[in-house]
Amino acid sequence: MVRINRVHTGGGDGGETHLLDGSRVSKSNPRVELYGTIDEANSFIGMIRSELMRAPTEAPDGGPLTTFLTSRDRGEAMLGRVQQELFDLGGECSCPPDSLPKAMALLTDEACELLLREMDEMLVELEPLESFILPTGTAVVSACHLSRTIVRRAERYACSIIQEDPNGLRDTVVMYLNRLSDWLFVLARWFTLKQGEDETLWVPLGKRNA
């Protein structure tokens, strides 16, 4: 059981922090950058959930957006699970694998496979892309795209740690972040469809000038 009775300790005033194993490192340490970015992504995914609850549920003619209401509930459930998993992942990344508490439960490859299955289910409803799309749209969709790019940044930090030390992280960490970024991209497209919006395609410079 975690018990937090105060947030401020003053221990980080000098620009250092403790990892989960008790070791003290600079706040610019790549591992701190990694779990900090995972926390950042988690916060923005919370924004997706918030925007989902605020999104209009009626069509311009006053009728209910039935398909969106169904997808909103499903999306909310999936995003809630992902937030829990990101918290698990951030905890794991807060120290080297060989220093993790023995009783600490870790994400398995099944979490990665579930993201794949959910992507496949959403993609069945989507038209194949014939151009890149711009990261824009409703508040829900834009929040998905922003979260996606932050997860990609976390993945880059994870890759840099592994490049420095092949045993610095479990392979599952990088796999999960890679899949999650793709998942958020598909989720953005899926919500665009369910909200009855059009995607904004990228037009290459040559065609724009023409």
DSSP E strand boundaries for the chain: 16-18, 24-26
Examine residue 86 and state whether it is found in any structural domain, yes or no.
yes
Number of domains in the chain: 1
- Interacting residues of 190 by C-beta distance below 8 A, sequence separation 6+: 71, 75, 122, 125, 126
DSSP state of 198: P
Rounded to two decimals, the pTM is: 0.88
Instruction: Flag whether 120 is in a domain.
Output: yes
Q: Do the domain assignments include residue 208?
A: no
Q: Which helix (H) or strand (E) holds 164?
A: helix 139-164
Residue 146 included in any domain: yes
Residue 4: inside a domain, yes or no? no
pLDDT at site 64:
63
Distance CA 106, CA 108 (A): 6
Question: What's residue 159's pLDDT?
Answer: 96
* pLDDT value for 162: 96
> Which H/E stretch holds residue 38?
helix 30-54
CATH of the domain at 80: 1.20.1200.10
Distance between CA atoms of residues 33 and 153, nearest Å: 10
Is residue 209 domain-resident? no
Residue 7 lies in a domain: no
Name the residue range of residue 31's domain: 24-57+64-125+132-199
Any residues with CB less than 8 A from the CB of 105 and at least 6 apart, and which? Answer: 88
On the 0-12 / 13-18 / 19+ scale of CB atoms within 10 A, 142 is: middle
Q: What angle do CA 154, 124, 143 make, to 5 degrees?
A: 35
Cα gap 170→164, rounded to integer Å: 13
pLDDT per residue of the chain (210 residues) written in tens, 0 to 9: 455 454 445 454 556 665 555 567 656 688 999 999 999 999 999 999 999 999 987 776 666 677 888 899 999 999 999 999 999 999 999 888 888 888 889 999 999 999 999 999 999 999 999 899 999 999 999 999 999 999 999 999 999 999 999 999 999 999 999 999 999 999 999 999 999 899 999 999 999 887
